Amino acid sequence: MKIDPGLVAYVSGGGSGIGRGFCVELARRGVHVGVCDIRGEDARETVRLIEEGGGKAIALETDVSDQSSVDAAADAIESVFGDVSLVFNNAGVAMHGVPVEEISLSEWDWVIGVNVMGVIHGVRTFVPRLRKAGKPAHIVNTASIGGFQVNPDFLTVAYSMTKYAVVALSEGLRNELAETQTGVSVLAPAAVDTGIHLSERSRPERLGGAYVRPENHFMGELIKDGAQPEDIANIVLSAIESNCFYIFPHPETRPWLERRFSEILDAYGAAEAAAKPLAAE
């Protein structure tokens, strides 16, 4: 679809990082933006930046792990700007640096609540509205390169598990919406200069409240020289206009996926070799 001025967007995690990049770049193209973030002050700062550049946006304190909060955000955006056509299920939190058996149940609830249920809630809220509107629309779900392979060095099991789920959800959603006017994309970035390593400060009270999780903080050094959020946003907006499903903004990660899929294909080769004696019998 073409991203024309006057369209309306919902962006979760819009108060910082890639989400803020989406919001600012959309506004530069004349899109009216619902900036949604659990940290209301961050959402309001994004709106300030947008309005400073002459754009239109509203800030909405939104907990994507709560279906009713996402529903309320959608209602608020529609009441101000009209029907939403662009949906960015972008909010996400880090969960790195701890062996899987040491991750507490409360942390599992949190990372699944945001990274998986946040996308599910966005889909449940907006897909019926997009179908009803019957106009060209697009959904972007932010996964990660960690949704296609598990980094062997950084203890990313919980994070990667949730991002694999986002990839599968997006692939299934694309199939279900294939005959509609709604396109779907899944974004799989690697290092981006964001504050995701500090995401524990945004944990909602009902899931344990804000805290300090130093195990994530090594990522700050890894990502500080990464891509800029606005650059990722522009790649994604171009992909929307090209109706591109998989979005890999870091081509240097291609060998990581090649290694994984090569191992899978080798396993098929081994299975075929093992099956030959059975067939001969």
Q: How far is the C-alpha of 245 from the C-alpha of 143, rounded, in Å? A: 12
159 catalytically annotated: yes
Q: Which of 10, 159, 211, 246 is catalytic?
A: 159
Residues annotated as catalytic are 159
